[in-house]
């Protein structure tokens, strides 16, 4: 028996990394989970490896009506939505004077516009049941967790596009919290620091992903990886399971009175140029 029994969760970008660890944890706690990835085959494989009940939506959420199709996947499978985790994303790093319009637009699209479109598409399925519950005097909490980054709260050299988009996630989170709090829809963000995923592993030839037929290099230089441990008070990057723990808290009943907040899951990295 889990604390999320009978809950329906959507986790974007959940075939790998933090997203997969989150889907596995939510499932282990009883949730039914929609698995999403750019590659439908990879998403299907992940879904088959998770013990709990799953559905799959494979597709690029920056394209067309994919956000609406994602939401419909959950509705078709289980008829409701209780939890949304906006996690999908990747990085395209360059100093601002060398950054192309395309790289800027891609980061804003996946990290900022996609969560907006997913939440807009989900709105009727979150708000309408809540209106009925409110009329009946019943409190049922639903959860939105948007994945941000300390790059968004502090800035980070070489990531003007990513940092700006993730800062936008914080603004979106706080706004939705103010608009939908009356419906007991908790909306919070998690700002991750250095988490050991393919985005932060070594920048080598086989650490890539494909988008629209184009190979995108992932990872960071080894020099930056070596510096990370010195900057983190806990002395090492987070595992994906530790990252998922922060998301799970914000999806759980223990966060019912946590609203419009940004939870730093950074191993203690809290000092920087913060507004």
The neighbouring-strand residues paired with 145 are 85, 188
Which candidate in 90, 162, 183, 248 is catalytic? 162
Under a CB-based contact definition with an 8 Å cutoff, are residues 250 and 143 in contact?
A: yes
Is 257 known to be catalytic?
A: no
Active site residues: 162
């Amino acid at each position: 028996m889990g604390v999320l029994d009978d809950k329906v969760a959507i986790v974007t970008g959940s075939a790998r990394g933090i997203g997969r660890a989150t889907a596995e944890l939510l499932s282990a706690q009883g949730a039914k989970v929609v698995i999403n990835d750019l590659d439908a085959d990879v998403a299907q494989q992940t879904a088959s490896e998770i013990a709990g009940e799953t559905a799959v939506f494979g597709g690029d959420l920056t394209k067309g009506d994919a956000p609406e199709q994602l939401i419909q996947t959950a509705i078709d499978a289980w008829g409701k939505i209780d939890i949304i985790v906006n996690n999908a994303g990747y990085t395209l790093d360059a100093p601002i004077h060398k950054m192309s319009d395309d790289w800027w637009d891609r980061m804003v699209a996946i990290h900022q516009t996609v969560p907006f479109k997913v939440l807009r598409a989900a709105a009727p399925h979150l708000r309408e049941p809540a209106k009925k519950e409110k009329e009946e005097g019943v409190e049922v909490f639903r959860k939105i967790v948007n994945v941000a980054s300390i790059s968004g709260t502090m800035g980070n050299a070489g990531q003007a596009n990513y940092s700006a988009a993730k800062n936008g996630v914080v603004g979106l989170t706080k706004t939705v919290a103010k608009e939908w709090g009356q419906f007991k829809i908790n909306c919070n963000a998690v700002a991750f620091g250095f988490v050991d995923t393919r985005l932060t592993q070594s920048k080598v030839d086989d650490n890539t992903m494909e988008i629209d037929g184009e190979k995108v290099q992932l990872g960071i230089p080894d020099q930056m990886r070596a510096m990370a441990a010195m900057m983190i008070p806990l002395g090492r990057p987070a595992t994906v399971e530790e990252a998922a723990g922060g998301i799970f808290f914000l999806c759980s009943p223990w966060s019912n009175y946590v609203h419009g907040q940004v939870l730093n899951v950074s191993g203690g990295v809290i000092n920087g140029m913060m507004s």
